Amino acid sequence: MTIIKRIFEKREITALAFLIILFLGVGLRNPDFMNTQSISTVLKGSVLYIFLAVGMTFVLLTGGIDVSVGATLGISAAISASMIRDGSSVVLSILLAIAIGLIIGLINGIGVAIIKVPAIIMTLGVLGITRGTMIVYTNGKWVENLPDSFKVASQANLGGLNFYFILAVIIVALVQLYFSRGKTGRFFAAIGDNVEGSILVGIPVKKITVIAYVASGFCASVAGVIFASQVGFVTSNTGLDIEMVAIAACVLGGVSLSGGIGSVIGASIGAIIMTAINSALIFLKVPSFWNKSIQGSLLILIVVSDVLIHKYFQDKARKQRLSARSSFVGGDK
Partner 1 sequence: MSEKKSLIRLNEIYKSFADNEVLKGTSLELSEGEIVAIIGGNGAGKSTLMKIIMGIYPLDRGEIYIEDKKINMSSPSVALEKGIYLVPQEPLLFPNMTVEENVVIGFNQNKSELGEKLRNLIKQLGWNISLSRKAATLSIAEQQLVEILRGLLREARILILDEPTSTLTFNEIQSFFKLMKDLQAKGIGMFYITHRLTEVFEIATDVVILRDGEITINGPVSDFTKEMLIKGLMPDSVENVKEDLENDLVGNKEDLVLKVDSLSGYGFHDISFSVYEGEILGLAGVVGSGRTELAEAIFGMGEITGGDVLLDGKSIKGYKTKEIIDLGLNYVPEDRHLNGIFSMADVRLNTTSAILSRISKVFINHRKEKEITQKYIDDFRIKVTGQDQSLKSLSGGNQQKVVIGRILSSNPKVIILDEPTRGIDAGARGDVYKIIYQLKKLGLAILLISSDFEEIYELSDRAEVMYHGTNHVALSKEEITMDILTLAAFGA
Partner 2 sequence: MKKWKAFKGKWELSLVLFLIIEIIMFGLINPRFLKIKVLMNSANDFVTVAIIALFMTLVIITGGIDISMGSVVGLSSVVMGLLWQELGFNIWFALSIAIIVGALCGAFNGFLVGYVGVQAMVATLGTSFLYAGISLVIIGFSGISPAEGITGFPDSFRALGHGKLFGVPSSLIIFGLLIIIAYILLHKTTYGRRVYLTGINKEAAEFSGIKTKLVILSTHMLVGIGAAISGMYITSYLSSSRADHGATLTLSVITAVVLGGTAITGGEGSIVGTALASVIIGLMTLGLQMTGLSTQFVGIGIGLLLVISVAIKSSLGEGNLFSNIKRKIKSNNG
Residues at the interface with partner 1 (CB under 8 A): 9, 181, 183, 186-187, 189-190, 193-194, 196-203, 260-261, 317-333
Distance CA 252, CA 91 (A): 34
Burial of 259 (0-12, 13-18, 19+ CB in 10 A): buried
Q: How far apart are CA 258 and CA 263, in angstroms?
A: 14
User: 148 or 196, CB closer to partner 2?
Assistant: 196
Give the integer Cα–Cα distance in Å for 221 and 234: 14
Ranges within 18-77 binding partner 2 (CB under 8 A):
65
Partner from partner 1, partner 2, none binding residue 129, C-beta < 5-8 Å depending on class: partner 2
Closer residue to partner 1, CB minimum distance, 148 or 196: 196
**Which entry of partner 2, partner 1, none binds 308, CB below 5 to 8 A by partner kind?**
partner 2
Smaller CB separation from partner 2, 104 or 146:
104
Contact criterion met (CB below 8 Å) for 252 and 274: yes
Q: Which of 127, 203, 212, 272 binds partner 2 (CB under 8 A)?
A: 127
Nearer to partner 1 (CB atom), residue 89 or residue 320: 320
Nearest distance in Å: CB 179, partner 1? 11
Q: Which does 91 bind (CB under 5 to 8 A by kind): partner 1, partner 2, none?
A: none
Among 296, 317, 318, 322, binds partner 2 (CB under 8 A): 296
| Partner interacting with residue 136 (select from partner 2, partner 1, none; CB below 5-8 Å by kind) | partner 2
Give 23-55 as a DSSP string.
Answer: HHHHHHH-GGGGSHHHHHHHHHHHHHHHHHHHH
Among candidate residues 202, 228, 216, 210, the one with its CA nearest the CA of residue 88: 228
Whole-angstrom distance, CA of residue 54 vs CA of residue 265? 8
Give 153's DSSP letter.
G
Task: Return the one option of partner 2, partner 1, none that residue 42 interacts with (CB less than 5 to 8 A, by type).
Answer: none
Is residue 124 a contact partner of residue 142, using CB atoms and an 8 Å limit? no
- Name the minimum Å distance from CB 300 to partner 1: 23
